[in-house]
Chains A and B, each alone.
Chain A
């Protein structure tokens, strides 16, 4: 089989999917391939901060400017993916006020709107904050649902004619003189192999950029920086809480639906595939973030996870936090003489749309076509979906079947709708598209039940216990670093079920 298209995009993160949508809206056909599911890299493994740009205002004004501009656009085109919480930059006694003043000036410079709050005003907004704080600066931060954002982009792209192939991996590139003619790819679930040919190829693989470029003998300067995060069992803050000091470990707490996410660490990695959160990192995050919100000391955690920031590095080495969070668009025609290859990396979830716009502009330029970008004007498909609690409650019916997930209150009917009658492709695909396994027990009960439903619907017939074991092993990575207190108690229960009662 051979597929021919105009642009072949590699990578199903926010950037790749953003490019797919951008090109589709410009009427340019494309095919996107992703070796796993959407947002399997940094797009899905971050703290879900909807940046105002404040975090970069002092150290990286250019990145800050991009953030605030995109902040304004995304509020318009993707309101259903965003919770408008605002953010506070809190000054603690040990931080002093020098940085705060610098911060206020820098925000003004890049046009991020700020409000200076007194200690009392701050505590009124956020009663769980350290009562000894000096002051706080309010900025237009928020919380974003990265997976929903990527999914909505993909949906819109497909509606406008783009093709997206998940679980599809490149096996080799087909070179033709100074061009990459196409790629041999493999459907990882069906095992089918075929060829995709395109006059333009976009490498949007994020942290995997160099793994891709190696196939054509190229390399770009990148630093892989691991950031670890920790999820609390309940939401501790209304707004995003940042520490008002130069960026450091454990300086942010982002609220997200019913939980809060503590972030982050920054550890340089050599390899992109293998990474885990250590109990030491967990202790560090708790120690630092609890200086802002003391209740974190007593909080229960449900999971730790890590993502890799693909940071573009010019020449000099140094502190990873000092490397720009701005993105880089590389025309390998100019840089390396491979005429039709483009790499886009660095950057952030927050600027994915802008990155997609610039990449698509470059493609148009190479094609000699003059079609303007419209992604900043056209809302994403689900943006008229009900967002308020009242509207959502009105949609709720009582006959939903049994509750499969007691943590997130997910009825059987909701799962059956997501499954939509298709054969089980991949457990992670289902988990990505539902709230199953996101709650306190992290799928300790509901994933077993999910298999029960799949067998009931005859969507699974084989050895489901092998997949269940695989899930529990994967789950363990996020659980192991947080096992003490109640979480440890519950883990004894889970272990007693699967190794005990079920003898897995």
Chain B
């Protein structure tokens, strides 16, 4: 089968690239082993958690800051008190200034290759897939802090509706709810760190055994189940005005689950990001999948690309392996969105880091001794995270001299060189912006 464009990789950057191409009327194939990091991490959308220090812009939190005082107090803050940047995609002024400074300071960074204006376009495109009620919003034009499953606070930018209740966290007025038998969230642990109260509920419809995140998310979608737990929480409420759950409030209709719980409990309900898997990330994936299939994109989930056949500097076809069958597909253009080590986009043996499909060069430290810092939490990111694929200004892969390697190939997402997405807290932002931009560039060539 021949396509206009084949996207290899089904994480957020691949999905964005496929969406962008499909919107332009292209015949698109997207092939991937899995959902990329969406199934693991993407609870909210990070753009740049670590804003440049010179900008003096602390994330939104309840400090003595005059600006934020309005959001403190006895009662949950009504959502409409915030300046929501919803659906429009315009970056808030704070984030915009931060990014613009970041781009100046880091000319090689993927954001710099996209440019501020196109980053905004990319976010518009992403947000258009998520109209209310389950939408993403920026609070006060800036990063805000959300509580996590370790009871820490974490800066992030675009927040799904179900997590908004967790911002401006003020301890005392919050109840954290955990479930017996679910081993990846501990209400007392979280509550003790955040100085509030925690309770652990026994699950009404589940016998005394282990329950997984996906099973719990599905149970939440049962009306009778959430009514049961809602009533139990109401009984145990001691004046708390907010109730935090692990981010498992349903896979398909989390807004409804949240609304129902709020009505029964009589307090604001919010989700807290936890250990993988990430149910909120899967919601993003499912939305893209539904949209792409509806647009006629060929969607091969659970398939991996075993080989690319090149003729000169052009990719002629790829082989897709789905045991026991191997099938060939060809396209005019190819977008590589295979992620880093976790996704299999990069591999490492004892001697070196390499890119397994096209064997693109991966600049890296000379010896394994230098891949990682001696301390885990150094402050300085581990050097290996900078290793990745070099691209030109149009997102095409180049070697260290800057010469084009693949005439009909583009590279997007975390596999790119010159970023530290873990430390920067820029994972989803890089994926959305580069996925969008590279597809635009590919279509323009």
Interface segment, one of B22-30, B89-97, B109-117, B421-429: B421-429
**Cα A463 to Cα B188 with chains together (Å):** 12
Chain A 375-418, CB-CB to B under 8 Å as 1, else 0, gives 00000000000000000000000010111100000001000000
A464 touches B148 (CB 8 A): no
Partner of A484, one of B181, B189, B350, B369: B350
**Cα A87 to Cα B185 with chains together (Å):** 45
A473 at the interface (CB under 8 A from B): yes
A468 touches B150 (CB 8 A): yes
Interchain nearest-CB distance for A215 vs B (Å): 32
Q: What residues on A are CB-neighbors of B344 within 8 Å?
A: 489
Partner of B427, one of A401, A458, A475, A500: A500
Interchain nearest-CB distance for A286 vs B (Å): 8
Q: What residues on B are CB-neighbors of A283 within 8 Å?
A: 350, 368
A480 at the interface (CB under 8 A from B): yes
Interface segment, one of A125-133, A229-237, A419-427, A446-454: A446-454
Given contacts A399-B208, A503-B152, 20 further A-B pairs with CB under 8 A are A276-B374, A279-B367, A286-B350, A402-B181, A404-B183, A448-B275, A455-B186, A465-B152, A472-B377, A473-B375, A480-B372, A484-B368, A485-B350, A488-B348, A492-B341, A500-B425, A501-B43, A501-B276, A503-B153, A503-B155
Closest to A405 in B: B183
**Cα A468 to Cα B150 with chains together (Å):** 10
B375 touches A476 (CB 8 A): yes
B148 touches A489 (CB 8 A): no
Can you list 11 A-B pairs with a CB-CB distance of less than 8 A?
Answer: A276-B374, A279-B368, A280-B369, A449-B183, A455-B186, A468-B150, A472-B377, A495-B376, A497-B275, A500-B422, A501-B274
Interchain nearest-CB distance for A486 vs B (Å): 9
Q: What residues on A are CB-neighbors of B349 within 8 Å?
A: 484-485
A499 touches B149 (CB 8 A): no
Q: What residues on B are CB-neighbors of A313 within 8 Å?
A: none
Closest to A487 in B: B348
A493 touches B40 (CB 8 A): yes
Interchain nearest-CB distance for A427 vs B (Å): 14
Q: Given A484-B350, A499-B422, A502-B150, does the pair A445, B181 have CB atoms closer than 8 Å? A: no
Q: What residues on B are CB-neighbors of A455 within 8 Å?
A: 186, 188-189, 192, 198
Q: Given A465-B150, A465-B152, A504-B150, does the pair A412, B341 have CB atoms closer than 8 Å? A: no
A456 at the interface (CB under 8 A from B): yes
Interchain nearest-CB distance for B214 vs A (Å): 15
**Cα A500 to Cα B44 with chains together (Å):** 12
B154 touches A501 (CB 8 A): yes
Q: For residues 332 through 375 of chain B, which have their beta carbon under 8 Å from a beta carbon of chain A?
A: 340-342, 344, 347-350, 367-369, 371-372, 374-375
A480 touches B374 (CB 8 A): yes
**Cα A458 to Cα B384 with chains together (Å):** 40
Q: What residues on A are CB-neighbors of B276 within 8 Å?
A: 493, 497, 501
B36 at the interface (CB under 8 A from A): no
The 9 closest A-B CB pairs, nearest first, are A452-B186, A503-B154, A476-B376, A455-B189, A455-B188, A502-B150, A402-B210, A402-B183, A489-B341
**Cα A278 to Cα B374 with chains together (Å):** 10
A483 at the interface (CB under 8 A from B): yes
Interchain nearest-CB distance for A419 vs B (Å): 14
Q: What residues on B are CB-neighbors of A102 within 8 Å?
A: none
B37 at the interface (CB under 8 A from A): yes
B130 at the interface (CB under 8 A from A): no
Closest to A463 in B: B193
Q: Given A492-B342, A493-B342, does the pair A502, B348 have CB atoms closer than 8 Å? A: no
B188 touches A402 (CB 8 A): no
Q: What residues on B are CB-neighbors of A488 within 8 Å?
A: 341, 348, 384
Q: What residues on B are CB-neighbors of A503 within 8 Å?
A: 49, 148, 152-155, 425
Q: For residues 67 through 83 of chain A, which have their beta carbon under 8 Å from a beta carbon of chain B?
A: none
Q: What residues on B are CB-neighbors of A497 within 8 Å?
A: 275-276
Q: What residues on A are CB-neighbors of B384 within 8 Å?
A: 488
Q: For residues 242 through 287 of chain A, which have their beta carbon under 8 Å from a beta carbon of chain B?
A: 276, 278-280, 283, 286
Interchain nearest-CB distance for A214 vs B (Å): 29
Q: What residues on A are CB-neighbors of B368 within 8 Å?
A: 279, 283, 483-484
Interchain nearest-CB distance for A325 vs B (Å): 31
Chain B 8-45, CB-CB to A under 8 Å as 1, else 0, gives 00000000000000000000000000000100110100
**Cα A279 to Cα B384 with chains together (Å):** 15
Q: Given A496-B422, A501-B149, does the pair A449, B184 have CB atoms closer than 8 Å? A: yes
Interchain nearest-CB distance for B163 vs A (Å): 13
**Cα A276 to Cα B192 with chains together (Å):** 35
Interchain nearest-CB distance for A179 vs B (Å): 45
A473 touches B377 (CB 8 A): yes
Q: Enumerate chain A interface residues (CB-CB to B < 8 A).
A: 276, 278-280, 283, 286, 399, 401-404, 412, 445, 448-449, 451-456, 458, 460-465, 468-469, 472-473, 475-476, 480, 483-485, 488-489, 492-493, 495-497, 499-504
Partner of A461, one of B43, B192, B209, B375: B192
B348 touches A485 (CB 8 A): yes
B371 touches A501 (CB 8 A): no
Closest to A446 in B: B183
B250 at the interface (CB under 8 A from A): no
B388 at the interface (CB under 8 A from A): no
Q: What residues on A are CB-neighbors of B367 within 8 Å?
A: 279
**Cα A284 to Cα B311 with chains together (Å):** 40
B200 at the interface (CB under 8 A from A): yes
**Most chain A Cβ neighbours within 10 Å, of B344, B348, B375, B427:** B348
**Cα A449 to Cα B37 with chains together (Å):** 22
Interchain nearest-CB distance for B148 vs A (Å): 5
Q: Given A278-B369, A402-B181, A503-B154, does the pair A445, B375 have CB atoms closer than 8 Å? A: no
Interchain nearest-CB distance for B126 vs A (Å): 20
Q: What residues on A are CB-neighbors of B274 within 8 Å?
A: 501
Interchain nearest-CB distance for A284 vs B (Å): 12
**Cα A475 to Cα B375 with chains together (Å):** 10
B303 at the interface (CB under 8 A from A): no
Closest to A411 in B: B210
Closest to A458 in B: B188
Closest to B347 in A: A485
**Cα A485 to Cα B350 with chains together (Å):** 8
Interchain nearest-CB distance for A85 vs B (Å): 29
Closest to A500 in B: B422
Q: What residues on A are CB-neighbors of B193 within 8 Å?
A: 463-465
B192 touches A496 (CB 8 A): no
**Cα A421 to Cα B311 with chains together (Å):** 68
Q: What residues on B are CB-neighbors of A495 within 8 Å?
A: 376, 382, 422
Interchain nearest-CB distance for A471 vs B (Å): 10
**Cα A468 to Cα B374 with chains together (Å):** 18
B409 at the interface (CB under 8 A from A): no
**Cα A412 to Cα B209 with chains together (Å):** 11
Q: What residues on B are CB-neighbors of A504 within 8 Å?
A: 150, 152, 377
B377 touches A502 (CB 8 A): no
Q: What residues on B are CB-neighbors of A464 within 8 Å?
A: 189, 192-193
**Cα A499 to Cα B378 with chains together (Å):** 11
B160 at the interface (CB under 8 A from A): no
**Cα A276 to Cα B347 with chains together (Å):** 26
B182 at the interface (CB under 8 A from A): yes
B150 touches A448 (CB 8 A): yes
**Cα A483 to Cα B149 with chains together (Å):** 27
**Cα A475 to Cα B198 with chains together (Å):** 29
B413 at the interface (CB under 8 A from A): no
Interchain nearest-CB distance for A316 vs B (Å): 34
**Cα A286 to Cα B368 with chains together (Å):** 15
Q: What residues on B are CB-neighbors of A499 within 8 Å?
A: 377, 422-423
**Most chain A Cβ neighbours within 10 Å, of B155, B274, B350, B382:** B350
